[in-house]
């Protein structure tokens, strides 16, 4: 009990880490979340987004699709290069990029010929090259706009294969029919979406929780390892096992406090209006953040066993937190990354925490069949914490044996 209280007093005496990460970084996450749409609304709005169309085909079909998409959103000019597209998304200049592949127009003509020869429209449509869409992860409207791409191409194929219309006429008829709308209203229920601003905040929280817990745990170990304090604790009647358990309990309390404060801050500011409607999905997000908090604790324990200095700990915790968050897709969608980066990302614990959070926000059901895979991913994240902690314990025992010898 004495070790537990001493460790908590050390954490309480170094409030700068809580201020830096749990306040400053989380406030930045809140501001970003609010700016990108923190709350859901009862109003139906047109899915108008900033978008760019990259036409690599230049056929009547591709030109018609480009004109329709640009007319439905706010058109932004983006060069046809991976770097330019990444920069545009990272700077929030666009929310959706549509990439029309070369040969789309010819493929539609071939598919129309197949339909007139007896092939079903669905089978013929499956032979068409895929029109690429890259979405900003924080945009709720971009996925709706992206769906219009497939609908548009399907409409052109239908007109071209079932009527005597030419390609230009099919494109014109499709443009007219796609502009027709039907009255709609919101029906509240279990399927109401979760605030996208909260998803942005949770992405930032992965970094703040990791950096906070890593720094504070390593700090406690460094102070507790100082010779005068170590001697005082060593001569106390408290058994070694109880002393170690007290230290572990202090780490857990610090981590849980940081987790609760971070999660509640996001919920109160960005998600309080829909908690009851999607509670199981919020539980998934909260559990994923808790698992990643445990990873931060284990990583801090590992660095504490290495007896790293305060400056070195700060550098490793911050850089590690930034790199993990980047590779996990929490800040920039993995669809924009090269395949090798995607594979590397799967080797980080942040990926297995971020993925279930994103899946929970995208889920349309709260059945166990839907949620079970998310908890499996969270379990992988928790295994990272166990593995890192086991390595740290092995290092500690090796050092004790070396000192005894």
pLDDT per residue as tens digits for the range 44-98:
555 578 999 999 999 999 999 999 999 888 999 999 998 999 898 888 899 999 9
| Out of 56-60, 275-279, 280-284, least confident range | 275-279
pLDDT, average across residues 106-118:
91
Instruction: Find residue 132's DSSP bridge partners.
Output: 99
Q: Are residues 161 and 281 in the same domain?
A: no
* One domain, residues 121 and 155: yes
pLDDT of amino acid 39: 46
Characterize 46-70 residue by residue with b for buried, 16 or more Cβ atoms within 10 angstroms of its Cβ, and e for exposed: ebebbbbbbbebebbbbbbbbebbe
> How far is it, in rounded angstroms, from Cα 349 to Cα 385?
8
Confidence of residue 403 (pLDDT cuts 50, 70, 90): low
pLDDT at 234: 58
Q: What is the pLDDT of residue 38?
A: 44
* Domain final residue, candidates 116, 147, 176: 176
Tokens of 53: 């169309």
Q: Over the stretch 116-149, which tens digit does the pLDDT of each residue have?
A: 888 888 888 889 998 998 888 767 778 888 888 8
- pLDDT (0 to 100) of residue 190: 47
pLDDT in tens, 21-33: 888 888 888 888 8
Distance CA 309, CA 96 (A): 45
Q: Which helix (H) or strand (E) holds 194?
A: none
| Distance, CA of 325 to CA of 347 (rounded, Å) | 12
In a domain, 154, yes or no: yes
Looking at the structure, tell me whether residues 228 and 153 fall in a common domain: no
- Final residue in a domain of this structure, among 124, 141, 176: 176
Asked, for residue 228, whether it belongs to a domain, the answer is yes
Residues 168 and 222 both lie in one domain: no
For the residues 297-318, what does the mean pLDDT come to? 89
Quick check: pTM over 0.75? no
**What is the domain range of residue 113?**
50-176
Q: Is residue 354 part of a domain?
A: yes
Q: Are residues 307 and 343 in the same domain?
A: yes
Using CA atoms in the order 384, 389, 394, 395, what is the torsion angle rounded to 10 degrees? 110
Contacts of 67 (CB under 8 A, 6+ apart): 175
Higher pLDDT, 44 or 359: 359
- Residues 367, 387 within the same domain: yes
The count of domains in the chain is: 2
Please, which residues bridge with residue 53 across strands? Answer: 98
Residues 121 and 221 reside in one and the same domain? no
Is residue 166 scored above 60 in pLDDT? yes
250 token code pair? 């202090």
At residue 246 the predicted structure's pLDDT band, cuts being 50, 70 and 90, is: confident
Three-state SS across 272-301? HHHCHHHHHHHHHHHHHHHHHHHHHHHHHH
Mean pLDDT of 299-326: 89
Tell me the CA end-to-end span of the chain in Å, nearest whole number: 30
Least confident of 38-52, 156-170, 190-204: 38-52
Decide if 187 is inside a domain.
no
The two tokens of residue 137 are 């992860």
Q: Are residues 367 and 243 in the same domain?
A: yes
Domain match, 245 and 392 both: yes
In this structure, the answer to whether residues 100 and 248 fall within a common structural domain is no
Specify if 186 maps to a domain: no
Residue 11 has pLDDT above 50, yes or no: yes
- Average pLDDT over every residue of 339-355: 92
Q: Are residues 295 and 267 in the same domain?
A: yes
**What's residue 274's pLDDT?**
55
Provide the pLDDT for residue 183: 60
Residue 44 in any domain: the answer is: no
- Residue in the structure block whose two tokens are 């609010």: 34
User: 203, 215, 213, 205: which is closest to 327 by C-alpha?
Assistant: 203
263 with 353, same domain: the answer is: yes
Average pLDDT over residues 194-221: 89
């Amino acid at each position: 009990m004495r070790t537990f209280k001493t460790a908590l007093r050390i954490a309480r005496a170094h409030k700068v880490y809580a201020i830096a990460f749990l306040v400053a970084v989380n406030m930045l996450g809140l501001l970003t979340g609010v700016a990108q749409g923190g709350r859901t609304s009862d109003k139906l709005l047109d899915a108008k987004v900033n978008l760019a169309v990259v036409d690599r085909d230049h056929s009547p079909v591709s030109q018609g699709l480009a004109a329709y998409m640009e007319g439905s959103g706010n058109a932004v000019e983006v060069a046809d290069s991976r770097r330019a597209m990444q920069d545009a998304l990272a700077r929030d200049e666009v929310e959706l990029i549509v990439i029309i592949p070369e040969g789309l127009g010819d493929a539609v003509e071939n598919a129309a010929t197949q339909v007139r020869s007896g092939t079903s429209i669905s089978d013929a449509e499956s032979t068409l090259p895929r029109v690429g869409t890259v979405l900003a992860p924080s945009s709720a409207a971009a996925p709706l706009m992206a769906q219009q791409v497939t609908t548009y191409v399907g409409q052109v194929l239908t007109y071209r294969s079932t009527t005597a219309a030419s390609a230009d006429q099919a494109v014109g008829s499709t443009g007219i029919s796609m502009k027709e709308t039907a009255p709609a209203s919101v029906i509240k229920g279990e399927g109401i979406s979760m605030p996208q601003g909260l998803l942005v905040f949770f992405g930032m929280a992965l970094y703040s929780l990791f950096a906070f817990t890593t720094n504070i745990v390593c700090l406690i170990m460094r102070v507790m390892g100082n010779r005068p304090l170590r001697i005082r604790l060593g001569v106390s009647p408290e058994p070694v096992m109880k002393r170690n358990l007290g230290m572990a309990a202090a780490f857990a309390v610090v981590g849980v406090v940081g987790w609760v404060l971070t999660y509640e801050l996001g919920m109160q500011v960005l998600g309080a209006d829909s908690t009851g409607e999607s509670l199981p999905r919020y539980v998934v997000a909260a559990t994923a953040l808790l698992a990643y908090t445990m990873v931060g604790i284990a990583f801090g324990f590992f660095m504490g066993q290495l007896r790293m200095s305060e400056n070195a700990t700060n550098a490793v915790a911050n850089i590690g937190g930034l790199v993990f968050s980047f590779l996990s897709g929490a800040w920039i969608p993995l669809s924009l990354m090269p395949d090798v980066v995607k594979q590397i990302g799967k080797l980080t614990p942040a990926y297995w925490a971020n993925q279930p959070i994103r899946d929970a926000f995208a889920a349309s059901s709260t059945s166990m069949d839907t949620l079970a895979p998310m908890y499996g991913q969270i379990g992988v994240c928790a295994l990272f914490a166990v593995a890192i902690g086991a390595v740290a314990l092995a290092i500690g025992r090796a050092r004790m044996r070396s000192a005894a010898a």
